[in-house]
Amino acid sequence: MRKHFKSFAVASVLAMAVAVPALGQEVNIYTTREPGLIQPILDAFTVETGIAVNTVFLESGLIERVQAEGASSPADLLMAVDFGALIDLVDAGVTQPVESEILEAAVPASLRDAEGNWFALSGRARVVYAAKELDLDSITYEQLDDEEFRGKLCIRSGQHPYNTAMFAAYMAKYGEDATRSWLEGIKANQARPAAGGDRDGARDIAAGVCDISVANSYYYGLMASGSSGDEQKGWSDAVKVILPTFEGGGTLVNVSGAAVAAHAPNREEAVQLLEYLVSDAAQKLYAEANFEYPVSTTAEVHPIIAEFGTLEPDSLSLTEVLPYRKRASELVDEVNFDTFSN
């Protein structure tokens, strides 16, 4: 009885902390990533600080909405799932620089804007899912176009930011002509149209549609943990995860991140939330809630993700990849990457 009463009392205190922000403080997030993925972290922030967090999910059109709202926009923090999208926010003039010793100490210089306009919050590796029975323990990104995978590869749309970043990194290393040839080879290897999401690759491997797929690392954690349901747990049971590398290099790592909005009405609270998101406590929650790699070097990687092996990020920085994104996207259309013709 006492134990149950104590649990009820603690739960009541936490509920009151969430429901009653300190002095009416709040921070408003516009995000292109599903709020549910980071909700446990936002809830923990509210419990610790008393600052309420309101989220608006925008699958597309984030920049256009903020620009249309202008100086009266309620947005304080803008969150994106891809470094290119973070750059786009800056280029569109909807962010403002932030100076913070906490942010600069926690986030490596290669994972934040030099002027403080955006900061990475978590990382994800672009990995390969392979059928468990497949005799394949290592692979390079360059091998994705190998003939041994003809009709055996599943991948989402080439225009998705996750893939565009990978193609741009390849172009930064090898140039446009080599990238065109590589994309044509990957297209020839497709077992079905380039579409759907990353988890669909695991699903189709389980169904025997393909032998390998290209996906983000954290999706495996979501499936393998059972948090996405028994069906997706079955998909993860059918695959193994390989950390690919570029020849002579490392694994491609993309980031999610955030920027303070140009007209943030609650700027101080927005910065406070940003600083919380890179703390060891929040980075641990990132790993637990969404199976992403922490940007903080002192935070632990989730055990499911750690099973992939030691992640050695490629030396090519995100800023070096950026200039090639537009041309990589154009090449996707030029080779008709998303048009299935096998």
Per-residue confidence (pLDDT) for residue 3, from 0 to 100 = 37
Task: Report the 3 state secondary structure along the chain.
Answer: CHHHHHHHHHHHHHHHHHHCCHHHCEEEEEECCCHHHCHHHHHHHHHHHCCEEEEEECCCCHHHHHHHHHHHCCCCEEEECCHHHHHHHHHCCCECCCCCHHHHHHCCHHHECCCCCCEEEEEEEEEEEEECCCCCCCCEHHHHHCHHHCCCEECCCCCCHHHHHHHHHHHHHHCHHHHHHHHHHHHHHECCCCCCCHHHHHHHHHCCCCCEEEEEHHHHHHHHCCCCCHHHHHHHHCEEEECCECCCCCECEEEEEEEEECCCCCHHHHHHHHHHHCCHHHHHHHHHHHCCEECCCCCCCCHHHHCCCCCCECCCCHHHHHHHHHHHHHHHHHCCCCCCCC
Low-confidence residues in the chain, pLDDT < 70: 1-24, 342
**Going by CATH, does the domain composed of 2-123+253-306 fall within 3.40.190.10?**
yes
Regarding pTM above 0.85, the answer is no
Residue 162 marked as a ligand binder: no
Q: Which fold would CATH assign to domain 124-251+309-334?
A: D-Maltodextrin-Binding Protein; domain 2 (3.40.190)
What's the pLDDT at 342?
A: 66
In the prediction, which pLDDT does 136 show? Answer: 97
- What confidence tens digit (pLDDT) does each residue in 41-74 have? 999 999 999 999 999 999 889 999 999 999 999 9
Domain locations along the chain: 2-123+253-306, 124-251+309-334
Q: Is 218 annotated as a binding residue?
A: yes
Q: Do 2-123+253-306 and 124-251+309-334 agree at the fold level?
A: yes
